[in-house]
Amino acid sequence: MNDLGQRHKNQRGNALLVSVLMMLTLSLMMLKALHYQQENAMLMMFDEQKYLNAFQQAESSLAWGSVQSWPLNSRELGNWLCSQKSGSYLQSCLRRYQDDLFLLKGVAPFSAGEHLELYQWMKQMKGSNQDTLIPVKSGWLDFCPVIPVEFCL
């Protein structure tokens, strides 16, 4: 009888040990899942930060391009005429759409081989000394508005 009581106590200790091991295993699995989730959130945050930096750079390129002196009477404006600020990543391109309507593009590198492009409609204002471009009200776009895709390439 004494031997049977001793076995019963040993079994209770084993059950407690198994319970503790199960709790540790579950805790480790939860920690691993949390780590995986945090790692994915960090990667998503880095991607978003990279996009926001490219977006702000494209906006800066657009603003810089809107105050540049472009050769408005040039025949080259049938295609994209691009200009880059020296010592900077700011790049803007201009293309004639109609007689006095132009499309300005601000370009920023986004990821390997990809660029983020923002667009602004610009209108030619004829002055006594020099023609200038002014932004069209509500003419800012984050996509190319011209239907033939070839125009935007």
Q: Do 15 and 74 touch, CB atoms closer than 8 A? A: no
pLDDT surpassing 70 at residue 5: no
Instruction: Give, rounded to a whole angstrom, the gap between the first and last alpha carbons of the chain.
Output: 92
Q: In sequence order, which ranges of 67-153 are alpha helices (DSSP H)? A: 149-152
Residues 61-116: tens digit of each pLDDT: 999 999 998 888 777 777 899 999 888 889 999 999 988 899 999 999 988 888 99
Give the chain's mean pLDDT: 87
pLDDT surpassing 80 at residue 25: yes
Confidence label for 11 from pLDDT (cuts 50, 70 and 90) = low
CA–CA separation, 121 and 123 (whole Å): 7
DSSP E strand stretches across the chain: 81-84, 91-96, 101-111, 114-125, 132-141
Would you give the DSSP letter of residue 77? G
CA–CA separation, 47 and 111 (whole Å): 10
pLDDT surpassing 80 at residue 2: no
**Ranges of each domain in the chain:** 1-152
CA–CA separation, 133 and 72 (whole Å): 9
CA–CA separation, 98 and 48 (whole Å): 36
The verdict on pTM exceeding 0.75 is no
Burial class (CB in 10 A: 0-12, 13-18, 19+), 86: exposed
